A and B are shown apart, each in its own frame.
Chain A
Amino acid sequence: MAHVSDQIAEDILGYLQSHETKSLLRFITCGSVDDGKSTLIGRLLYESKMIFEDQLAALEADSKRVGTQGQEIDFALLVDGLAAEREQGITIDVAYRFFSTDRRKFIVADTPGHEQYTRNMATGASTADVAILMIDARKGILTQTRRHSFIVSLLGIRHVVLAINKLDLVDYDRAVYDEIVEAYGEFAEPLNFASVTPIPMSALRGDNITDKSGKTPWYNGPTLMAYLETVEVADGAEDRPFRMPVQWVNRPDLDFRGFSGMIAGGTIRPGDAIKSLPSSKESTVRSIATFNGELDRAVAGQSVTITLNDEIDISRGDVLCAADDPAPAADQFQAHILWMNEQEMLPGRTYLMKIGATTAQATVAAPKYAIDVNTMEHLAAKTLELNGIGVCNLNLDRTIAFDPYTENRDMGGFILIDRLSNETVGVGMIDFALRRASNIHRQALVVDKDARAELKGQKPVMLWFTGLSGSGKSTIANALEQKLLAMGRHTTILDGDNVRHGLNKDLGFTDADRVENIRRVSEVGKLMVEAGLITLVSFISPFRSERRMARQMLEDDEFVEVHVDTPLEVAEERDVKGLYKKARKGEIKNFTGIDSPYEAPLEPEIRLATTDMTPDEAADQLLAFLREKGYLA
């Protein structure tokens, strides 16, 4: 390398020893190219001597050829072939860069570009201990400074460097610097940073980057590098209560049963009492077993395997906690959610929620409010779009151990996964548990579903008719109900149009409203089934995941999906209600089949090809099915 300390050449063993004890600091740089962010990162790489001679020679040549600094070295060119990659149409969202000094190794999360900035910044910030906020001294605090500060604070970064850059362009004027520092202090007050460290600098000229600048004699603080090398970020992680999500149960033979995971908080020693959540079973630590022998203690950030003195049932996803200070457990939460997918969040839909080593099913309610990232104002919202941030309640299918995100990032941060596409669609940070769940106890029922069904001499079932508008759902359902009534059966119909006139008249036709529409109907239908009725539900219900939600509310044999399979051309040709014509003219928005998708069932219990049969024949086919499966016995 180009600028190497003489120690490497003269005393390699001493060098290695000093590098063994280095700590690690992860930070994120926030700002746009115009603020000199690339120049700053390039400068840090250069000053920490991470550049090979061949790279340096290329840099000098490139600087003269395409650089923006005349004959000087253009450090921005070092950071990336970004420009070249952009030309190739390749988007860089988050790139990680590495450098080290004698005291620390650094991992920089670099999130270039403006597109998707919120999402990418949050990703980079999630693992960072420190954020460097770039400010152009000529421009002062801009909207983007506010936005970056808010995201940094939301993701729980406690230490911020206010890098007041390009000071050379304002003649190193102290008044400019002081004004920015004061304005930022006022703005950042509610963001609760543990420390804000302003540093006057010129990344381009190298002022206050590694060496104190002679141009800012009025500044007594650290240089950027000195700050990064010494800032204390541990925040007492090992003094917090012990937490370890169990990732894997290690069972090589009958004599060894260990619980493997990374410690998410606190310290553990052999003999310590632990409680496993959510089961609340207790034991004490027998050993902390590692490849290099048993440990006397282990702290937050270490990956370990713990054995216990009692045989208690623990599996992946459980959390080992300090017995005298266990994590709370709950199944309903309020959380800040940041949406990361092109498809908006659908309140009412069930997503997979991964938190620690647990994956639960979580239903997200409509946002209480969304937050404008630029002004931090609270806005009314029905959903969250890509890059949207809001506060929502979540309802899980099980109880999980957690800590609020502000207390423990690894115990309170979660991702949301779409169950069909498997994409990570959103991320969240738990604020607190809702007490509602523990206060509303389910009423134990004396007369149950079976008793009601027995009285009626039938097996209750929900027949879910799905298909395009005009496919014949309601017509067939009506025909079937007439036949059942004639046989003395007890039935009811929930019809899409009718329900929208009453129960669901507050809902429109956006994707989010469609999901809520189906959720309500599923709940009502479930009550009908519990009343012992043969329940016919006739709804377009275009999305697979909502039909699946309805299915999951009922017992296995209580849900029968009926696909009324009429091709779009045929339904449009019939156009009983004249709706297709209007949709084609653009008078109706979000019309299924025209400008809103219909996801046909993959494995319906029954498929009715209406082009080959009359509604009466279709009803007969359904009747035969119900008889055969014993619903009418």
Chain B
Amino acid sequence: MTDLTHLQRLEAEAIHIFREVVAETENPAMLYSIGKDSAVLLHVARKAFWPSPPPFPLVHVDTTWKFRAMYDFRARMAEESGMELIVHTNEDGVKQGIGPFTHGSGVHTDIMKTVALKQALDTYKYDAAFGGARRDEEKSRAKERIFSFRTAAHRWDPKNQRPELWKLYNARKAPGESIRVFPLSNWTELDIWQYIYLEDIPIVPLYYSAMRPVVERDGTLIMIDDPDRMVLHEGEIVQEKMVRFRTLGCWPLTGAVESEATTLPDIIQEMLLTTTSERQGRMIDHDAAASMEKKKQEGYF
């Protein structure tokens, strides 16, 4: 009698989902954001198809404002996995000089992330895109299907989702339509960390605490990752602090937390003992008016 553990079951489910998509769609890709959920997603994908490399590319939608450590890590993982890496940047946005300092987080995210993602999907004609989103992250995710359909205009219709029973996924779609697929739907944040720990999965060093140069802005600690592009406000002082990141995104928009956690068990311990929910470090969610659901209907992953 072997009682599979919850992580073994979650992994088996995710592997099953990966294989269904590869078997039933024409041109799948993995949206790779370099963060910890992407790290798990990539790891499970490699297990699903081993000894073959995963038969789809990694696609990174690059806003050009990611942490330098993320770019290094991206190159390393593409190399290790043997997968093709496709980097897409919204060149129109670059020409217009769109950036978080000059245009604010809302405009920057919309043009360099949401619009860029749609461009990438249209350019390469991916009919299925894997993402690392989880149902425990946010309310609108709790009801989203594992196979989530998008119209040819990339819109999500929460009222018109296909029933998902057993392990049977209906991947049929009309030309131009696409599916976002979330193999980690049933994982929680604790599952992700525990799995990283158990499987010894590499993650970007920024998750571990270290002395880093930061300034305090609107109650958040912003790390100066690229001094040439950092815009300091009057009265702001750069300090070296022992900080780490709970989530990773564009460095000017991602708040650091003061922490002594330098190992994985430290991080998990800190996460379990922390008193605020995960996304607080991500400034994009603080733009109150635009809920995640609305963003998703417009094509945000």
Contact = CB atoms under 8 A, between A and B. Distances in A.
Interface of A: 1-2, 4, 8-9, 12-13, 15-16, 19-24, 52-55, 80-81, 85, 90-98, 100, 104-105, 107, 119, 122-123, 126-127, 234, 238, 247-248, 250-252, 256, 258, 260-262, 289-292, 299, 301-303, 305, 316, 340, 352, 354-355, 357, 409-410, 413-415, 417, 422-424, 427
Given A20-B198, A98-B188, A301 B4 contact: yes
A424 B273 CA distance: 43
A252 B52 CA distance: 5
Interface stretch (B11-19, B57-65, B119-127): B11-19
B50 A302 contact: no
Given A127-B166, A248-B22, A413-B168, A96 B1 contact: no
Contact of B16 (A105, A247, A299): A247
A243 to B, nearest CB: 13
Contacts of B135: 96, 98
A8 B272 contact: yes
B272 A234 contact: no
Contact of A12 (B4, B51, B265): B265
25 contacts: A8-B273, A16-B265, A22-B6, A24-B5, A24-B6, A52-B275, A97-B142, A98-B135, A105-B6, A119-B163, A247-B23, A261-B16, A261-B19, A289-B50, A289-B51, A301-B9, A303-B12, A316-B23, A340-B163, A410-B167, A417-B170, A422-B170, A422-B172, A423-B170, A427-B163
A260 B170 contact: no
Interface string B255-295: 00000000001101100111111000000000000000100
Nearest to B197: A16
A114 B102 CA distance: 49
B162 interface: yes
B300 to A, nearest CB: 17
Contacts of B161: 93
Given A104-B6, A303-B15, A424-B170, A52 B276 contact: yes
A323 to B, nearest CB: 22
A424 B163 contact: yes
A104 B47 CA distance: 25
B10 interface: yes
Contacts of B53: 252
Contact of B52 (A21, A251, A299, A340): A251
Contact of B12 (A93, A100, A302, A355): A302
Nearest to B7: A20
Contacts of A413: 165-166, 168
Contacts of B273: 1, 4, 8-9
B272 A1 contact: yes
A234 B3 contact: yes
A119 B164 CA distance: 11
9 A-B pairs with the lowest CB-CB distances in the bound complex, closest first:
A303-B15, A24-B6, A126-B165, A53-B275, A105-B6, A252-B52, A422-B172, A12-B269, A291-B47
Interface string B160-199: 0111111110101110000000000110101100100110
B140 to A, nearest CB: 8
B268 A12 contact: yes
B269 A410 contact: no
B173 to A, nearest CB: 6
A96 B4 contact: no
Nearest to A255: B51
B186 A107 contact: yes
Contacts of B10: 24
Given A302-B4, A302-B12, A105 B191 contact: yes
A238 B1 contact: yes
A9 B274 CA distance: 11
A20 B191 CA distance: 10
B2 A247 contact: no
B46 interface: yes
Nearest to A5: B272
A98 B141 CA distance: 13
A137 B13 CA distance: 38
B8 A302 contact: yes
B48 interface: yes
Contact of A415 (B13, B46, B165, B265): B165
Interface in B10-56: 10-13, 15-16, 19-20, 22-23, 46-53
B48 A123 contact: no
B170 A354 contact: yes
Q: Which of B6, B9, B11 has the most CB of A within 10 A?
A: B6
B226 interface: no
Contacts of B265: 12-13, 16
B233 interface: no
A415 B163 CA distance: 9
B143 interface: yes
